[in-house]
Amino acid sequence: MKELILQTSHISKSFRDPVDVTVLSDINLQLSRGEFVSVTGKSGCGKSTLLYILSTMDTDYDGELYIDGVCMKGKSEPQVARIRNEKIGFVFQFHYLLNEFSVLQNVMLPALRLGRWEADEIRQRAYEKLVALDMAEHAQKKPNQLSGGQKQRVAIARAMINDPLIIMGDEPTGNLDKRNSEIVFEIFLELAQQQGQTLLIVTHDQQFARRTGRTIQMEDGRILEPLY
Ligand SMILES: Nc1ncnc2c1ncn2[C@@H]1O[C@H](COP(=O)(O)OP(=O)(O)OP(=O)(O)O)[C@@H](O)[C@H]1O
C-alpha cells in the first residue's frame, strides 16, 4: 500500500485586501512517498499560496494539513518550525543563499538548526550533498562567486541536508536560462528516480510538468480533476 506523507482536507485561504478575496477553495490532495508531482496553472491561480501552506510556512488557513500523519492544526510555532526543518526541504525561485557564509556553510545551516548531528558530521554530510550535485569544487567559495545555475544547485543541496521527507520547489527553474533550467530539472528527476525522493514542484513549464509522475492543474484557487 502507498504510504501517504502529505494530505490536505478542505483547505481554503482568503486574504483581506481590503475586502475578503478567496484565493484557495476546498483543496483536497494526497501525496505518497516517492511521487514526483508538479503543480501548474495560470499566473495568480494560487500555486504559491498553496505551496506555502503545504510547506507550513503559512499557517493561516481553513481546513487541515497532515504531514507524515500529523495534523499541523493546533501546533505551536516552534513545533511547526521543527517539523518543517526536519521533514521539508524547500527550493525557491531565488536561491536566498547568505553571501557572508561559504557554499559549504550555507548547506550546513538547516542541519545546524535541527541539531540532530555533531558539527563535524554535518560538515561531512554537506560536503557529500555538494559532491552529489557536482558542486564540491566550489565548497569554499561565497555564493556571489557562482553562476545562477550553480547557486540553485547549492540551494538544492541545502534543501537535501536533513534528508527531508519531501522537497518542495516554487518555480525552482524560473530564474534560470534554458540550459540551466534543464540541468536543475534533471537533478530533480534523478532525485526522484534514483533515490525515491518525494517532490512537489510548482512550474510554469509544461514540458517539465509532463515529465513528472503526476500534474496537479489549478484554476482560480481550485484543483481541477484529472481528465483521465
Ligand atoms: N498577501 C496577499 N494579499 C492579497 N492577495 C494576495 C496576497 N498574496 C497573494 N494574493 C493573491 O492571491 C492570488 C494567488 O496568488 P499566488 O501567488 O498564489 O498565485 P500563483 O499561481 O503562484 O501566481 P504566479 O504563477 O504568478 O506566481 C492572486 O490573485 C494574488 O493576487
Which has the closest alpha carbon to 122: 99, 140, 147, 104?
104
For the chain, how big is the Rg over CA atoms in Å?
A: 17
Q: What is the 124 CA–ligand 1 centroid distance (Å)?
A: 39
| CATH of range 36-45+73-223; options 3.40.190.10, 3.40.50.300, 3.40.1280.10, 3.40.50.1100 | 3.40.50.300
| Helices and strands of the chain, counted as H and E runs | 7, 11
Ligand 1 atom 27 nearest Cα: 43
Of 3-12, 45-54, 90-99, 119-128, minimum mean pLDDT range = 90-99
Instruction: From 105, 102, 70, 98, select the one nearest 84 (Cα to Cα).
Output: 70
Q: What's the complex ipTM?
A: 0.96
DSSP 46: S
Cα 45 to middle of ligand 1, angstroms? 7
Check pocket membership of 49 for ligand 1, CB cut-off 6 A. Answer: yes
pLDDT at 226: 67
d(CA 82, CA 16): 29
Question: Is the pTM value of this prediction over 0.90?
Answer: yes
Mean of pLDDT over the chain: 93
- The CB of 23 under 6 Å from ligand 1? The reply is yes
